[in-house]
Amino acid sequence: MTVPKPPYRADHVGSLLRPESVKAARKKRFEDKQMSAEELRAIEDDAIRDVVKMQEDIGLLAVTDGEYRRSWWHYDFLGALTGYELEEREEGVQFHGQKLRPIYPTIKGKLDFPADHPHVEHFRFLAGVTKVTPKISIPGPSVCHFRTLPADIAPAEYKDVEVLTADIAATYKKAVQTFYDAGCRYLQMDDIFFAYLCDPKHRADKKEQGFDPDWLIDRYAWMMHEAIKDRPDDMLIGMHMCRGNFRSTYAAEGGYDPAADAVFNKTGVDIFFMEYDTDRSGGLEPLRLLSKGKQRVLPGFITTKTGDLEDLDDLKRHFEEASKYADIDQLGIAPQCGFASTEEGNLVTYDDQRRKLELVVRTAEAIWGGVAA
Reported as a single tens digit per residue, the pLDDT across 327-354 is 999 999 999 999 999 999 999 999 999 9
Cα separation, 234 vs 3, in Å, equals: 14
Q: What is the distance between the alpha carbons of residues 281 and 220, in angstroms, rounded to a whole number? A: 20
Contact at 8 Å (CB) between 175 and 224? no
Q: Provide the 10 A C-beta neighbour count for residue 91.
A: 9
pLDDT in tens, 21-36: 999 999 999 999 999 9
pTM of the model: 0.94
Closest-CA residue to 217 (of 186, 254, 250, 246): 254
Residue 1: other Cβ atoms inside 10 A: 4
CB within 8 A of 125, min separation 6: which ones?
45, 48, 65
d(CA 335, CA 357) in angstroms, rounded, equals 8
Distance of CA 331 to the CA centre of its chain: 18
pLDDT at 251: 73
Q: Are strands 271-275 and 62-63 parallel, antiparallel or unpaired?
A: unpaired
pLDDT confidence of residue 244? 76
How many C-beta atoms lie closer than 10 Å to residue 302's C-beta? 22
The whole-angstrom separation of Cα 363 and Cα 229 is 32
d(CA 146, CA 339): 23
**pLDDT at position 249:** 76
pLDDT at 97: 52
- 18, 340 contact by CB (below 8 A): yes
Q: Which helix (H) or strand (E) holds 241?
A: strand 236-241
DSSP-H helix ranges across the chain: 20-26, 37-58, 75-79, 118-128, 141-146, 161-181, 193-196, 200-208, 213-228, 260-266, 312-322, 350-368
3-class SS of residue 151? helix
Give 205's contacts (C-beta < 8 A, 6+ positions apart): none
Given this model, what pLDDT does residue 362 score?
Answer: 98
Identify the CA nearest to 142 among candidates 60, 223, 197: 223
How does pLDDT run across 181-208, given as a tens digit for each residue?
Answer: 999 999 999 999 999 999 999 999 999 9
Taking the alpha carbons of 43, 45, 51, 54 in that order, is the dihedral positive or negative?
negative
- Which domains, ranges and CATH numbers included, belong to the chain? 20-366 (3.20.20.210)
Task: With CA atoms as reference, report the closest residue to 360 among 296, 306, 298, 308.
Answer: 298
Q: What is the pLDDT of residue 100?
A: 54
Positions of the chain with pLDDT under 70: 1, 91-101, 247, 250
Tally Cβ neighbours within 10 Å of residue 132: 19
Query: Of the candidates 98, 88, 44, which has an alpha carbon nearest to the alpha carbon of residue 68?
Result: 44
